[in-house]
């Protein structure tokens, strides 16, 4: 290969790499490659945080109840719950659990629907881009000089 051809190829590569759109694409690609590496670590850390938070909350509640139980026992305070109150507490707890389950199902459905909508949008990005290119071309055509 001649020196002139090598110089031309080098200039072409430099021009390509100095092109604002090429630089943009390279940087966006690097950004998303990095995000793809970080995201699983982020989700793992958030899951561990949530699990530790739940364990700590449960331990705190159990310790508090244990202290209260010990205090009531030593102070001679009766802890018997009337049947009507017991039924009300149990029924309320069942409703809270059902509401929580329903809320979780709705949230999961909403997330699944959002993911599907994003996938649909992603599948149609090229069509949107092509449409926009055609619109731009139709705007530019009247102003293009014809030889």
pTM > 0.75: no
- pLDDT for res 81: 94
Opening angle at CA 46, ends 43 and 48, nearest 5:
110
Rounding to the nearest 10 degrees, give the CA dihedral for residues 18, 19, 20, 22.
Answer: -100
- pLDDT for res 127: 92
- pLDDT for res 141: 78
Q: What is the mean pLDDT of each run of 10 residues along the chain (147 residues)?
A: 49 62 93 94 95 97 97 94 96 98 97 96 92 90 71
83-98 per-residue burial string, b: 16 or more CB within 10 A, e: under 16: eeeeeeeeeeeeeeee
Is-contact 22 16, C-beta < 8 A? yes
Is-contact 72 79, C-beta < 8 A? yes
**Sequence-separated (6 or more) residues with CB below 8 Å from residue 72:** 78, 79
- Please give the Cα distance from 13 to 11 (Å, whole number): 5
Q: How far, rounded to the nearest angstrom, does the alpha carbon of residue 38 sit from its chain's CA centroid?
A: 12
């Amino acid at each position: 290969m001649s020196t002139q051809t090598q110089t031309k190829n080098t200039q072409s590569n430099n021009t390509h790499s100095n092109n604002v759109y090429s630089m943009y694409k390279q940087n966006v690609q690097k950004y998303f490659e990095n995000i793809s590496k970080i995201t699983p670590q982020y989700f793992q850390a958030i899951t561990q945080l949530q699990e530790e938070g739940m364990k700590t909350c449960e331990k705190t509640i159990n310790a508090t109840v244990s202290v209260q139980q010990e205090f009531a026992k030593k102070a001679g305070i009766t802890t018997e719950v009337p049947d009507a109150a017991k039924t009300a507490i149990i029924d309320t707890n069942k409703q809270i659990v059902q509401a929580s389950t329903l809320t979780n199902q709705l949230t999961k459905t909403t997330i699944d629907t959002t993911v599907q909508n994003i996938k649909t949008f992603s599948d149609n990005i090229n069509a949107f881009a092509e449409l926009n290119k055609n619109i731009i071309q139709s705007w530019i055509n009247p102003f293009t000089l014809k030889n």
